[in-house]
A and B are shown apart, each in its own frame.
Chain A
Amino acid sequence: MNFEFSEEQRFIRDQARNFLSQECSTPVVREVLDGSGSFHRPLWDKIIELGWTAMAIPEEHGGLGLGYLELCVIAEELGRALAPIPFSSSVYLATEALKHWGSQQQKAQYLPRLAAGELIGCFAHAEGLGKPCVDAAAGKAGIAGSKLPVADGDIADFAILSARNADDVVQLYIVDLAQSGVRREALSSLDPSRSQARIDLQNAAAEPLGDADPAGAEAIDSLLDCAAVLLAFEQIGGCQAAMDSGIAYTKERYAFGRPVASFQAIKHKFADMFVALELARSNAYYGAWALSSDAPDLPLAAATARVSATDAYYLISKENIQAHGGMGFTWEFDCHLYYRRAQLLSSQIGAMPLWKERLVTHLLHAA
């Protein structure tokens, strides 16, 4: 038994960590947070150059042909660095959708350009409050409806978008977002370091994802499972960074003549954060194994990884503010960046009620 990333994978992780600590320090994140653009174009360009967008795309389509485990270690580092780029939308969702359910022609058309960073994709599924309910309708005249929120919807070139077909069955479509039938509007969100948009479609041209057997509800489910594992790695990366910053700060800050970190009230807080993070990390590892080996219990493992990571990031990001005291509540300190990102990642691809329900459904159906 070997439940650890390989030496090569850990090397990729270390390289990514070094790169991001140079190129994606929190001032870089703040450039986007403070309002200059929807994402950090220079950082995105460097990441494309490093081949991260091509990582899990097969070589025949211009990718590097690596697996999910390599993508997981990259995800952890992007989460740690709070990278303000559309990586999850384009790589975990749009690219994966095309890779698994695209027709040969669609794969040939999109994957090489996604790998090369010439295109940014996004996933448009939610339609307002609550669980995703797909009312957008696809008819002969194109797709009509609204998608909200769509992560990176204002910057993506195309969307993998869910809509009801003529038989009222939910199905995935590829929609070019630059066309006249599409109106896009950037939205304010809890985490302005990442973009959110509303997309309105009026007779927007679209092609079904796949050909003979178009991708429907099952495809959406497995796409979400895959994204849940990868996002869990972003979450645990953020957890680790937030907890590390709190530990460093409370060791340095003195009150009553001693380090704040020497008080049990603070130590026990960090012990609880550590526990939550270790459980989340272990569940994410299991999810990574299930994803990379296409295990039958992937749906349960993915939901577990997501619930665990979401719980951990909320706990750690809020208690990290608390441990920092008043300075933790300032704009100047970075605590709120993690708190905001925790909120964003917990709602992206569906919030806790949805994922807990998915977990329980699979748990009760398991042997």
Chain B
Amino acid sequence: MDFKDTPELAAFRQDVRAWLDANAERRTDNLNMGMEGEQAFLEGKAWYRKKAEAGFACLTWPKEYGGAGLTSLHDVVWTQEVVNYRTRDAQFVIGIGNCGPAIMHFANEEAKRELLPRMASAQDVWCQLFSEPSAGSDVAGLRTSAQREGDHWKINGQKIWTSGAQYSDYGVVLTRTDPGVSKYKGLTMFMIDMRQPGVEVRPIKQMDGGQHFNEVFFHDAVVPDAYRLGDVGGGWTGALTVLMSERLAISGIQPTGFPQFLDVVKSLELNGEPMASDPIVRDRLATWYSQYAGLQAANKRMITAVAQGGIAGAEASLGKLVGAVMNQEIANFVCQLFGQAGVIQDATLSPARAHFQESVLFAPGVRLAGGTDEVMRNILAEQVLGLPQEPRADKGMAFKDIPTGSAGAG
């Protein structure tokens, strides 16, 4: 056991640090970047372009597709270093993290050479169009249809919870091409041009007031067959590739709320005493630190497995599950500590620029997005522990015959 870099990685780490020092602002606190919307998007885009010009974009992608042709361990080093700087990447994680690997795997060579370098340099923004109003955890129950017309497909239907759709140039969309076969078999995945008349994006106002997600409507939107990802009817395999990449992309950066909690405990007084001397606070610190440290160490084990030639498997679901739950519990606990003032959400009055109040309201979404707590538990139980699947009422049925309830459309 040791935590030393190989000489090659140590040199790379030095390069990364030097470049980040020269090109980004070092973090002085653990608070989020603040500001959403257009301005944040433009800053993020500028940062990705800068990164791409310096050769630090998409480190593991082959050079001909706009990447740096390096290993996943280089990527780990980059992630470990960049976290210490104030950078924006929210809109680009999905394209590069989720869509990129699927395109690399399933697209034809011409499309890869055309589209991937533009994704890597943030010239194009991508979104992922899977979830639908009546297909959330059961995403294979989706109904958006794709019908072939010569060398094109026509897409009709509705997607929901699409992050960054309003900024996106392209999307990876999962559609139903055959409702006459079982639900997993009738799916086909495409790349779609989001800048066409048949695509309508409507932002969703979330319960916390933010607008991170969208509904996307397709009215005879057109996709050339050359933009098909994988076989007709083979969309589920592609979707699993995307979903697994998503869990990997977020497993290392899933917020837990712990560093912010530790900062506030160290810096604030409560009833004239340091918050850190309160026995209840100390008890919570111990419990949450042991989980937080466990996640960090689990991540190191995962990196080791990857370095030794393995793959990070379904275990990545663990980080998502633990982080999302802890994040909500910490936010609630800290607001309680503030007493009656805990309810005030005012960045100039509330400690940590109202981070904890914001978290209270945003945390429910974190437990749902990218696979709910319950889906994560199913994945761990079935894919890691090998427990049998739940019997399915729709097993063996043609999709069109599967019963539907009335709560779908919301």
Query: Which residues of A are in contact with B by a Cβ distance under 8 Å?
Result: 1-6, 69, 247, 250-251, 258-259, 261-264, 266-268, 270-272, 274-275, 278-280, 282-283, 285-286, 288-289, 292-293, 303-304, 307-308, 311, 355-357, 359-360, 363-364
Whether B295 contacts A279 by the Cβ 8 Å rule is yes
* A to B CB contacts below 8 Å, 13 in the list: A4-B1, A267-B381, A267-B382, A271-B376, A275-B321, A279-B298, A282-B295, A282-B297, A282-B298, A283-B294, A304-B293, A311-B287, A360-B276
A residues near B276, Cβ cutoff 8 Å: 360, 364
Residues of A within 8 A of B296 (CB): 282
Least Cβ distance of A362 to chain B in Å? 10
* B290 / chain A contacts, CB cutoff of 8 Å: 279, 283, 304, 307-308, 311, 359
The distance from the CB of B9 to the nearest CB of chain A, in whole angstroms, is 8
By a CB distance below 8 angstroms, the chain A residues around B381 are: 267-268, 270-271, 274
A308-B303 contact given A1-B3, A360-B286, CB 8 Å threshold:
no
In the complex, per-residue mask of B372-410: 1 if CB is within 8 Å of any chain A CB, else 0: 001011101110111111110000000000000000000
B307 contacts the other chain (CB 8 A) = yes
B interface, over-half SS: helix
* Main secondary structure on A side of the interface with B: helix
The answer to whether residues A247 and B385 also contact, given A4-B1, A271-B376 and a CB cut-off of 8 A, is yes
CB closest chain-B residue, reference A264 = B390
Whether B390 and A272, one on each chain, are in contact in the complex, defined by CB atoms closer than 8 angstroms, is no
Residues of A within 8 A of B389 (CB): 262
**A271 touching B377 in the complex, CB below 8 Å, given contacts A279-B295, A364-B266:** yes
Chain A residues near B385 (CB-CB < 8 A): 247, 270-271, 274
The reply to whether B286 and A356 form a contact with Cβ atoms under 8 Å apart is yes
Contacts of B303 in A (CB 8 A): 1, 3
Query: What is the total number of residues of chain B having a CB less than 8 Å from a CB of chain A?
Result: 50
B39 touches A (CB below 8 Å)? no
Which residue of B has the minimal Cβ distance to A275? B318
Interface contacts beyond A3-B3, A279-B298: sample of 14 additional A-B pairs, CB < 8 Å, sorted by A: A1-B5, A3-B297, A247-B387, A267-B390, A268-B374, A268-B381, A274-B318, A274-B380, A274-B385, A279-B294, A283-B290, A285-B301, A304-B289, A311-B287
Q: How far is the CB of A69 from chain B (nearest CB, A)?
A: 7
A359: B residues at CB distance < 8 A: 285-286, 289-290
Q: Which 3 A-B pairs have the closest CB atoms?
A: A279-B294, A282-B297, A356-B286
Whether the Cβ atoms of B294 and A268 lie closer than 8 Å is no
Chain B residues contacting A272 (CB-CB under 8 Å) are 377
Shortest Cβ gap from B80 to chain A (Å) = 10
The answer to whether B391 touches A258, judged by C-beta atoms less than 8 angstroms apart, is: yes
Which residues on the A side are within 8 Å of B253 (C-beta)? none
CB distance from B362 to the nearest CB of A (A): 22
B1–A292 CB distance below 8 A:
yes
Q: How far is the CB of A308 from chain B (nearest CB, A)?
A: 4
Most buried by A among B282, B315, B386, B389: B282
A28 to B276 CA separation, bound complex (whole angstroms): 47
CB–CB A267/B378 < 8 A: yes
- The CA of A355 and the CA of B294, in the complex, are separated in Å by 16
Q: Tell me the nearest residue of chain A to B305, going by C-beta.
A: A4
CB of B262, distance to nearest CB on chain A (Å): 7
In the complex, what's the smallest C-beta–C-beta distance from B293 to chain A, in angstroms?
5
Query: Complex: how many Å from CA A214 to CA B378?
Result: 55
B96 CB to closest chain A CB (Å) equals: 24
B1 and A3 form a contact (CB under 8 A): yes
Distance in angstroms from A23 CB to nearest chain B CB is: 28
* Chain A, residue nearest B5 (CB): A1
Contact, CB under 8 Å: B377 / A267: yes
Q: Is the CB of B377 within 8 A of A285?
A: no
Nearest opposing residue in chain B for A353, CB measure:
B283
Assembly CA distance A264 to B378 (angstroms): 7
C-alpha gap A356/B287 in the complex (Å): 8
Question: How far apart sit A288 and B2, CA to CA, in the bound complex (Å)?
Answer: 11
Q: Which residue of A lies closest to B262 (CB)?
A: A363
User: B308 interface residue, CB < 8 Å from A?
Assistant: yes
Contact at B374–A264, with CB atoms within 8 Å? yes
Interface mask (B265-286 → A, CB under 8 Å = 1, otherwise 0): 1100000000010000011011
Measured CA separation A250–B2 after assembly (Å): 39
CB-based contact A280/B294 at 8 Å: yes
B residues 294-336 near A (Cβ < 8 Å) are 294-298, 300-301, 303-305, 307-308, 315, 318, 321-322
CA–CA, A278 and B314, complex, Å: 13
User: In whole angstroms, how far apart are the Cα atoms of A5 and B301 in the complex?
Assistant: 10
- For residue A290, which residue of chain B has the nearest CB? B1
With A271-B378, A271-B380, A271-B385 given, is the CB distance from A279 to B322 under 8 Å? yes
Residue of A with least CB distance to B379:
A271
Compute how far the CA of A274 lies from the CA of B385 in the bound complex, rounded to whole angstroms: 8
Chain B minimum-CB-distance residue to A363: B289
B211 at interface (Cβ–Cβ under 8 A)?
no
The answer on a CB contact under 8 Å between A278 and B3 is no
Candidates B294, B300, B391; contact of A1 at CB < 8 Å: B300
User: In the complex, which residues of chain B have a beta carbon less than 8 angstroms from the beta carbon of A307?
Assistant: 286-287, 290
Chain B residues, CB < 8 A from A274: 318, 380-381, 384-385
